[in-house]
Structure 1
């Protein structure tokens, strides 16, 4: 199978070893694929992430919230500190997350294309919903039901994290989760690793957010994003979502 002929504008790399990658996926139900996009396309998406109107995505008291960054900035210091303290207390033993997000697929499905500086991200949404990408997923996984992808841009700054979960959600029809990484440079020491949890309580495998790499894994599968270190050299940038059946 050739992954060429993707959506107009952005395209997948042409030199992917699809048979070899399919064998690796069959062994573990997950893959890290470097160099997934043409280099110039990956650079364009990475640059577009600088123009994203981020909001804060977090959980508090068991509920999920999207909060405008300016709203958080205007919050009194004591209230903001109390919220963070409550989140950290909940994260010790349960599911909790905090990071910046932009819900790309919600806007695309509503016909709200902005163009301009954000057009490479809109093109990426088109690409992951194209026959080229969905066909590649089918060739890698052997799954014929992959029909569409949703997508959100994410930004993890120092202190951000995503605790253990498995992505299974009744009625969502999630087949696989994916992460497209656009962080220009990253070190293992900076955290932000996509960590897969083994049945023995240890980390079975972890992926560094390598620029222009695709991570894909079967749902359900216990995993987390480790906390980004206070000394990280920049934010962890990606476009993430689920590959679904109708």
Structure 2
């Protein structure tokens, strides 16, 4: 159902990735795959609100939009206040790998996308790009950033999960840098070394650990920032 664009040669891209440890690859999927998956994300049902409310605890607000205005405002205000100095995030998600107990069934199209990302074609592309034979699994979740959503600086380090690389498969039909939602790579002094705008049908991939953030989506953004994200891992989760 989904295919890497046959015109992309990962061996030709590999020297750039190995030099910098990150890369923005436009046109990662063939055109029919990109259009099908992009439309599927745009119309997907079953989103929940993922909010990091304090250290080590996430809350998925499946009924967040049904909460009262006061309840939503209180959660958002507390999250924004903590984000000034601590790791926090707020965005919508559909967990495609290891969905939580009680989660609604995942749309078959998104299930197929997750299977493609952990399948032989995509992982072979990643191994050729990185020159690393360890990748054997890719987990995945759909993400939707709306105005006010963000992800503060962190480095994705989680040694017990064997994360090798992080990836973002961007599926937003149209985006501008001044709408926010830019994947930012940061140095130790918080200078922005590089930023990737979520261009439709592009793959952002980078070595873990690497400090990065997603900038706050502006209130005037022209639509949701849509992507499938996850980590390339050295072992599947059941091991």
TM over 0.5: same fold?
yes
Alignment of 1:8-23 (within 5 A): 9-23=1-15
1:53 corresponds in structure 2 to 46
Residue 204 of structure 2 corresponds to which residue in structure 1? 215
Q: How far 1:106 moved relative to its partner?
A: 1.9
Instruction: Tell me, in whole angstroms, the C-alpha distance in 2 between the residues paired with 1:179 and 1:60.
Output: 23
1:102 to 90, 94, 114: 94
Counterparts of 1:122 and 1:74, CA distance in 2: 26
1:64 maps to 2:58: yes
Query: Shift of the alpha carbon at 1:200?
Result: 3.8
Q: 1:179 aligns with which of 128, 146, 168?
A: 168
Between the two proteins, the alignment pairs up a number of residues equal to 231
Residue in 1 that maps onto 2:214: 225
TM-score (norm 1): 0.89
d(CA) in 2 for partners of 1:55 and 1:133? 27
Q: Which residue of 2 aligns with 1:4?
A: none
Q: Could you say what secondary structure the match of 1:154 adopts? A: strand
What is the CA-CA distance between 1:47 and the residue it aligns to? 1.1
Q: Does 1:87 align with 2:93?
A: no
TM alignment of 1:22-41, pairs within 5 A: 22-41=14-33
Partner-residue secondary structure (3-state), 2:160: coil
Taking a change above 3 Å as real, the CA distance of residues 73 and 113 of structure 1, as seen in their structure-2 partners, is closer
* Alpha-carbon displacement from aligned partner over 1:64-95 (angstroms, at most 9, x marks no partner): 11111xx2233233232222111111000110
Correspondent of 1:129 among 118, 122, 125 = 118
Where does the alignment leave 5 or more consecutive residues of structure 1 unmatched? Answer: 1-8
* Closer, same or farther: CA 128–206 of 1 in aligned 2, 3 Å: same
Checking the alignment, whether the CA contact within 8 Å between 2:48 and 2:64 is kept in structure 1 is no
Q: Which runs of 5+ in 2 are unaligned?
A: none
Contact 2:163 2:231 in 1 (8 A): yes
> Which residue number corresponds to residue 168 of structure 1?
157
The structural deviation recorded for 1:113 is 6.6
Stretches (4+) displaced over 4 A: none
